[in-house]
Amino acid sequence: MDAAELGALLTPEGLRLVDSLPPMESTDDVARAVSRLRADGRSPALVSAAVGQARLRAKARGKFAEFADRMLFTRAGLEQATRLSIAARHAGRFREAGVTAVADLGCGIGGDALGFAALGLRVHAVDADEVTAAIAAYNLAPFGDAVTVQHARAEDVDLAARFAAPGERGAVWLDPARRTAGHSETSRVRPEDYTPSLEWAFALAERMPTGIKLGPGFDRSALPPHVEAQWVSADGSTIELVLWSGTLARDGVRRAALVVRGDSAHELTAAKDAADEPVRALGAYLHEPDGAVIRARLIGDVARALQAGMVADGIAYLTSDAALTSPFVSSFRVREQLPADVKALARALRQRGIGTLEIKKRGVDIDPAVLRKSLKLSGDASATLFVTRIDGRRVALLADRV
């Protein structure tokens, strides 16, 4: 979306048109809507903007549920936005720390600011991109004077002035731009090219309570020593790393793995990386740690709780004989070890009537999609296949989810 499309959209006619369109799930829906609206005499800019929003609203429901139906988006802004359920957890951290006002620097379309404002915090949302700031202002307008939006660079915001009210307890939420500028196609940039710079962000975190959102694969060796590093996964995907400083960081916690599945959440915390458990022989159960647990390097703590050990050095699978599981792993009961050779493996799976196969791999160079095609599966049974390395050799393990 460019400024011209946004201008056409942010008019009474444009907003009425957007709200009159149903969410569009397919390109056929889009084509039919464009043809109808153009036949009605609507301008090309307005039709493009309105239909684009209807398409984005459909995609946004996964992050914003029914709230998506009254929001505006850019494609890049939606891809990078925090889902509302996670934004609410961010906001809860600020409120529990006694914060009353948040400067959301790099607010994007306003996903996290929505969470802050919904919990009653005063919010000053800032974005360096003019179109994105305008969209954030629209999305946050229902909160009235509790939220202000500014088009500016994070480095240029006068935080002292923003938190000058008597009794105000201010803190910062910072989401550095980790992709090239743009509203549709963007690409990742190197950490040294983030805006604002990590040097500036980390210095700010030393001066005042700050939460810094980063990608989950951020180089751990570059983590500042004074922060709490919390990796977050949602419904099986590791989505972010948040660095917490000052009163937002919890006493004695330097590593945390927050695992969110639907409406439930479980967290593992520690003062430092956990030592791994020793390698042990393959047992009756195989456990796959959640991605947040792996990133936080807390696999050892989970292993001890499960009475489990590592299947091999450097392989993030656990094995045990105890019939235990936890919210921090997906657990599987091992059926048997099968031949690792593709032809022999295919024959063994056909003999067992397995037509539906979930394939997981670690420590081996295979493409699960290519392997599945090569296996020529048939039958009514289902199972999970692990392809990994144990004792330095490739193994194939047939298992069932617990």
Q: What are the E-state strand segments in 249-391?
A: 255-261, 264-270, 285-289, 309-312, 315-320, 329-338, 354-361, 381-390
∠ CA 10-28-33 to the nearest 5 degrees? 35
Find out whether 275 and 300 touch, Cβ atoms under 8 Å.
yes
Residue 290 has pLDDT above 70, yes or no: yes
- The answer to whether 290 touches 318, Cβ cutoff 8 Å, is no
Please give the angle made by the CA atoms of 274, 275 and 276, to the nearest 5 degrees: 115
Between CA 275 and CA 290 the distance in angstroms is 17
Position 186 pLDDT exceeds 70: no
What's the pLDDT band for 189 if we cut at 50, 70, 90?
Answer: confident
pTM given for the model: 0.91
Q: Please tell me the predicted confidence (pLDDT) of residue 247.
A: 97
Identify the pLDDT of residue 183.
60
pLDDT given for residue 40 in this prediction:
86
Q: Is the pLDDT of residue 187 over 70?
A: no
What average pLDDT does the chain have? 93
How far apart are the C-alpha atoms of 181 and 238, rounded to whole Å? 24
Q: Which superfamily is assigned to 79-270 in CATH?
A: Vaccinia Virus protein VP39 (3.40.50.150)
With tokens 């030393």, the residue in question is 206
- Secondary structure of residue 120 in the 3-state scheme: coil
In sequence order, which residues have a C-beta less than 8 Å from that of residue 226 and are 6 or more positions away?
205, 206, 245, 249
Higher pLDDT, 41 or 307: 307
What is the average pLDDT across 337-345?
95
Name the least confident of 25-34, 318-327, 387-396. Answer: 25-34
Higher pLDDT, 26 or 270: 270
Cα dihedral 353→359→362→367 (10° resolution): 110
Q: Across the beta sheet with 255-261, what order do the strands follow?
A: 147-151, 122-127, 101-105, 170-174, 210-214, 237-244, 228-234, 255-261, 264-270
Calpha distance 231→240 (Å, rounded) = 6
Report yes or no: 244 and 206 within 8 Å, Cβ to Cβ.
no
Give pLDDT tens digits for 127-138.
999 999 999 999
pLDDT for position 300: 97
Rounded Cα distance between 53 and 99, Å, is 34
Q: Summarize pLDDT for 152-169 with one digit per residue, the tens.
A: 999 999 999 999 889 899
Look at residue 179 and tell me whether its pLDDT is greater than 90: no
Cβ-proximal residues to 364 (8 Å cutoff; 6+ apart), any chain: 387, 388, 389, 394
State the amino acid at position 103 in one-letter form: A
Higher-pLDDT residue of 262 and 268 is: 268
Q: Is the pLDDT of residue 185 over 70?
A: no
